[in-house]
Structure 1
Amino acid sequence: MTPRFAGKSAIVTGAASGIGLAVAKRLAAEGAQVVIGDRNVEGLEAAAHDIGNAATAVALDVADAASCRAMVDRAVALNGGLDVLCNIAGILDFGRLADVDEGRWDRVIAINLSGVYHMARAAMPHLVERRGTIVNMASAAGLVGVPFNAAYSASKHGVIGLTKALALEFSKEGVRVNAVCPTGVKTPMVAQASRADIDWSMVMRAAPWLDDGALCDPEDIADAVAFLASHEAKRITGTALAVDGGQTAG
């Protein structure tokens, strides 16, 4: 069978590690030319070396609109167009509301939500040309509330709302826009999230049910992203696909 992304041009943000790296590897393995972006330039260059000739690393700050436009321009110049945009970049910041000051709040929203907006706005004219697709990284915390995680939950609820709005707005142009909503994933971001001042017994009420609460592997989420980005999902748009081991089932 022909690889699902043979001849396709893709952008993956947040690709220096974790889910972004797994997505970039998956798309490249299935034939895509992938331009990967991240603020972690050292990790990004290592990722590009790991992926090989199918990947090009571009330093990216998704919170900066100009950086996002430059990323899209570079991908289009390199590969002649754009078929797939995967907005994976994000941060996690647990904390009690009283401790989450304006700076912490603004940083989470700027990266997790405004970053998706900046990338989508820059990419959309090129995606319209090719009837392409966007896959955004939301979260189970975008479907239900998670205590001590107000900024992150708000940002991911926003990603789902933005996903649905863009899916409708660009449906006549043939651009599909979907989101993936993972539970906890074995990534450096999650590993660094622990804080002593959090009531983790409350947080863990929202743990996945499958396999005794086991976290997902990044590759599990890459499977879902690749499906939604592929022709196999040609009739799917505006969805928020939970990959959460039953966390949001009830």
Structure 2
Amino acid sequence: MNRRPRPRYGTTRPRHGPHEATAGDRNETKGGHMENLRDAGVVVTGAGGGIGAALARAFTARGARVVVNDLDAGKAEAVAREIGATAVPGDASDIVAAAREALGGGIDVFCANAGIAPAGGPEAEDAVWDAAWDVNVMAHVRAARELLPEWLERGRGRFVATVSAAGMLTMVGSAPYSVSKHAALAFAEWLSVTYRHRGIDVHAVCPQGVRTDMLASASTAGDLVLSPTAIEPEDVARATLEAVDAGRFLVLPHPEVGRYAVARASDTDKWLDGMNHVQRKLETIQRDQQVR
């Protein structure tokens, strides 16, 4: 069957019916294709360091016009200077309008990367839970709310959510992080299910440990579970761009996470027993540290 190529950034989209993006159009981008990101308007939140900075560098290297967002203005400006991008500091949940102005036009790719990982469980105060929910979930919802009308009108847009393997599995030591990351993955899945036939591409980035400030502050839980297999932020960015090129929803910089998810689904009680073993080991280490 003949398939018309999908329009690329920097080109004019043919005016067909308002919602005529098809599965055939999407398949044309797969199988070794490199997505044309030249002149694409890209926004990366939480880009003052770590995964966000690596994503900003990777998109810039592909010719995109990048907005670097971070709560820390100094960090955002430093990354922007390094890569020739534009810094727009501020709250990630209220960035779309300012980013549009900085780009001088529409946003083609939005990377919802900002996140926080507070420790604790039900005993954590409501303010802790509210903060995790606001940054890890509602910032994604607010961005999509503002971006979708524009994207649906032109039949094209790309939403990249940094979720974490915790969204597919769980994270010992942090219920707010685990719960909110599950919600972030669910929201990304919903966006893809609802809008993929209308030209909206969605990617959920689900790494385990990454050598960032967040991992460095994860204390015992991070040392026990994440540090042994931690990768560099650049590895996550590389995997993300590969998924963009392939048109693939799930981004697994740690391939083993996919196997863990299958094990979790096929024998949930066995998986829970294994994770509980990790939890008990963590508690033993923490008790030993208190004795010292």
Aligned to 2:230: 215
Change (3 A) 1:130 1:41: farther
1:124 and 2:119 aligned? no
C-alpha distance in 2 between matches for 1:172 and 1:39: 34
Decide whether the 8 Å contact of 1:109 with 1:151 is kept in 2.
yes
Total equivalences in the alignment: 227
Give the deviation of 1:245 after TM superposition. Answer: 5.0
- The alignment partner of 2:252 has SS state of strand
Counterparts of 2:35 and 2:185 in 1: how far apart (Å)? 29
TM-score (norm 1): 0.83
- Name the structure 1 match of 2:25: none
State the alpha-carbon separation in 2 of the partners of residues 166 and 13 from structure 1.
19
Pairwise CA distance, 1:189: 1.5
Question: Residue 5 of structure 1 corresponds to which residue in structure 2?
Answer: 37
CA separation of 1:2/1:185 partners in 2, compared to 1, >3 Å: closer, same or farther? closer
One-letter amino acid of the structure 1 residue matched with residue 63 of structure 2 = G
Residue in structure 1 matching 2:139, options 94, 115, 125: 115
* Alignment partner of 1:35 out of 64, 67, 85: 67
Choose which of 86, 94, 114 in structure 1 pairs with 2:119.
94
User: What is the one-letter code of the residue matched to 1:18?
Assistant: G
Q: Would you say the 8 A contact 2:47–2:70 is kept in 1? A: yes
- 2:23 aligns with none
Q: Deviations over 1:103-143 (max 9, x none)?
A: 11110110011111111211222333251211100011001
- Give, in whole Å, the separation in 2 of the partners of 1:50 and 1:69: 23
Q: Is the counterpart of residue 147 in structure 1 residue 147 in structure 2?
A: no
Alignment check: 8 A CA contact 1:160 1:240 kept:
no
Task: Tell me the distance in 1 between the aligned counterparts of 2:162 and 2:218.
Answer: 18
Partner AA of 2:250 in structure 1: A
Q: Residues 138 and 159 of structure 1 are in contact (CA less than 8 Å); yes or no, is this contact kept in structure 2?
A: yes
Q: Secondary structure at the match of 2:197?
A: coil
Q: Tell me which structure has the larger Cα radius of gyration.
A: 2
Match of 1:83 in 2: 108
Amino acid at match of 1:243: P
Aligned to 1:167: 192
Partner of 2:89: 59
Q: Which runs of 5+ in 2 are unaligned?
A: 1-32, 261-292
Verify the 8 A CA contact 1:12 1:24 in the aligned structure 2: yes
Alignment partner, residue 225 of structure 1: 240
User: Is the contact between residue 14 and residue 90 of structure 1 (CA under 8 Å) also seen in structure 2?
Assistant: yes
Letter in 2 for 1:144: L
* Superposed displacement of residue 96, structure 1: 4.2
Q: Structure 2 CA distance, aligned partners of 1:225 and 1:156?
A: 18
Instruction: Give, as a single letter, the amino acid of the residue that structure 1 aligns with 2:114.
Output: A
Over residues 70-118 of structure 1, what are the superposed CA-to-partner deviations in whole Å (9 max), with x where a residue is unaligned?
A: 234324xx243221111111111122432x1101111011001111111
C-alpha displacement of 1:50 = 0.8
What letter corresponds to residue 145 of structure 2 in structure 1? R
Letter of the structure 1 residue corresponding to residue 64 of structure 2: A
In structure 1, the partner of 2:55 is 23
Q: Quick check: which one's strand share is greater?
A: 1
RMSD (Å), alpha carbons: 2.3
- Describe the SS at the equivalent of 1:172: helix
Q: Distance in 2 between matches of 1:102 and 1:110?
A: 12
| TM-score of the superposed pair, with normalisation by structure 2 | 0.71
Change (3 A) 1:248 1:95: farther
| Post-superposition offset of 1:21 | 0.3
More helix by share: 2
1:240 is matched with 250
Gaps of 5+ in 1: none
Distance 1:38 1:170 in 2: 28
